[in-house]
């Protein structure tokens, strides 16, 4: 049983910052053995990968957020974070965290690889 619960979304003006959190609850496996990622979906658009972190801590980012967003995880707290700075109106979307035990190398930002999803948290950036 895998459960993910996001928090930290909200409304902010362009240029502002937000930090999203995602708590992973899993029975039978160590939290640290999961690939984790943040994804977002804006109305009328497909879900897209934002940032991902694999089991050894290596990270990957979508080009649109590089230099502005930082993904991190705290294995002791079973929590994934997404620090978002210099937010733009185009960052407005529902943000989801996801987890999976195995993700093919180079495909960590592809949502099709993830089977476990949170309920999402809304981020709205006004210009």
Q: How far is CA 78 from CA 25, 26, 37, 68, 107, in A?
A: 7, 9, 14, 24, 23
User: In sequence order, what are the beta bridge partners of 96?
Assistant: 39
pLDDT at position 15 over 70: yes
Instruction: Assign 44 a pLDDT band (cuts: 50, 70, 90).
Output: very high
pLDDT digit string, tens, across residues 48-100: 999 999 988 999 999 999 999 999 999 889 999 999 999 999 999 999 999 99
Half-sphere exposure for 48 (CA within 13 Å, toward CB): 16
Closest CA to 71 of 107, 111, 21, 31: 21
pLDDT digit string, tens, across residues 92-120: 999 999 999 999 888 999 999 999 999 99
Average pLDDT rounded to a whole number, residues 12-18: 98
pLDDT at position 31 over 70: no
Provide long-range contacts, Cβ within 8 A and 24+ apart, for 25-34: 25/1, 25/78, 26/1, 26/2, 26/78, 26/99, 27/1, 29/101, 31/75, 31/78, 32/75, 33/101, 34/99, 34/100, 34/101
pLDDT at 48: 98
Average pLDDT rounded to a whole number, residues 9-28: 94
């Amino acid at each position: 049983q895998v459960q993910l619960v996001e928090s930290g979304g909200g409304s902010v003006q362009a240029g502002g910052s937000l930090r999203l959190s995602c708590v992973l609850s899993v029975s039978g496996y160590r939290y640290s053995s999961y690939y984790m990622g943040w994804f977002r979906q804006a109305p009328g658009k497909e879900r897209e990968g934002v940032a991902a972190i694999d089991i050894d801590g290596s990270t990957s980012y979508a080009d649109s957020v590089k230099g502005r967003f930082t993904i991190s995880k705290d294995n002791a707290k079973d929590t994934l974070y997404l620090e978002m700075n210099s937010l733009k109106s185009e960052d407005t979307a529902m943000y989801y965290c996801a987890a999976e035990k195995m993700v093919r190398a180079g495909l960590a930002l592809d949502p099709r690889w993830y089977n476990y999803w949170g309920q999402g948290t809304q981020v709205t950036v006004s210009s």
